[in-house]
Amino acid sequence: MTKYLSLVIIFFTISINAQANLENYNNNEIKNFINHMHSKYNFDKAELEKLFIEIIPEKRIKKYFKKAPERTLTWNGCDEKDKNCTNYKKLFVTKNNARRGLEFWLEHDKDLQRAYQKYGVPPEIIIAIIGIESKYGTRTGTFKTFDTLASLSFGPNKGRRSNFFKTELINFLLMCKENNFNPRLIKGSYAGALGQPQFISSSYRHYAVDFNNDKKIDLWNSTEDIIGSVANYFYKNGWKANQPIMSKIIYPKSKSSFVDNESKKSYLPKISYLDYTHHGLSSDIAIKPSSLIAIIKRKENNKNIYSFGHKNFYVITRYNRSRLYALAVYFLSNEIRNAKSRMERL
């Protein structure tokens, strides 16, 4: 009797969800979307309709996309009493992240070296990305990606970026088709980021690579594909092998205001090193006069620190456009590299 009652409840719940989805997703916009996917990419209409009907409303999405309270974002300058301050350095550049990064390196050294030889991206950069994005694969997201992208494109969570999410939904379905994935089973972040490197669907299709030659690209379970794909992402966005990311600026106090003003400009490197030397600035490393650089500002314990940002710093911001994110990748990668060097000296 109990078993029968449970089945009735489950059926009743599914029926309610299906009815709610018909109200949310049974409209001309979705019909046009299904027709577009059928005519342009030969998707089965009935199968797409089933995917929309089967959507389970996800209440958590609104919580994550709800406008957050005003926060101070800083590299390393938060006051301990300031609860609305995010300290990127303390969040990501930790002993635990460096230790786990070293463990990842030792376990996957062969594939990391192969990626370095092919794409020119150092192992520690690849490792830092995986560590920051998914805590070395332990947090890849619990949201059903089709449901998430459909909700953000057409459903109750549709907002001003609906066209972006609609494009990602198209890419998600194509990604599943190309890799023989079941779209019902794929899970990611609340915004549709996927796998250990947290690629959005369009990035998955454009940058992810089959690095173990098994005829599919798996960014959840194939460490080879994950490593190769992160390296390819950087390579395709202009990473320069064996070139610096940041370097120290040496300048007289009289140029402090000039340096600070320059740091407020874009971190796209577009001023030549020669131009900066004419203003009395120099680097602690050898730089070609024609090299384009930017000035990057960060706060260390309430003191402003300035560095030259090279092309590779800018490339990191193509993965995530935040300057603080790029700093986190750079400094965590240094900690991982230093841990590896200490181990090798023992």
Catalytic residues: 133
Q: What is the DSSP letter of 83?
A: T
Residue that has been written with the tokens 């059926």 in this structure: 11
Residue that has been written with the tokens 């690849």 in this structure: 126
Sequence-ordered list of residues with C-beta below 8 angstroms from that of 29, at least 6 positions apart, any chain:
154
CA distances from residue 274 to 248, 290, 292 in whole angstroms, order as listed = 16, 6, 9
Q: Which two tokens stand for residue 184?
A: 């019902």
Q: What is the DSSP letter of 216?
A: S
327 and 88 in contact (C-beta within 8 Å)? yes
Side-chain-facing half-sphere of 85: CA atoms under 13 Å: 13
CA nearest 169: which of 233, 67, 158, 208? 158
Phi and psi angles of residue 309, each rounded to the nearest 5 degrees, phi first: -100, 120
336 and 101 in contact (C-beta within 8 Å)? yes
Q: What angle do CA 266, 269, 272 make, to 5 degrees?
A: 125
Helices (H), the chain: 2-25, 28-41, 45-53, 60-65, 88-92, 95-107, 109-119, 123-134, 145-153, 162-179, 201-207, 223-236, 256-263, 273-278, 311-319, 323-345
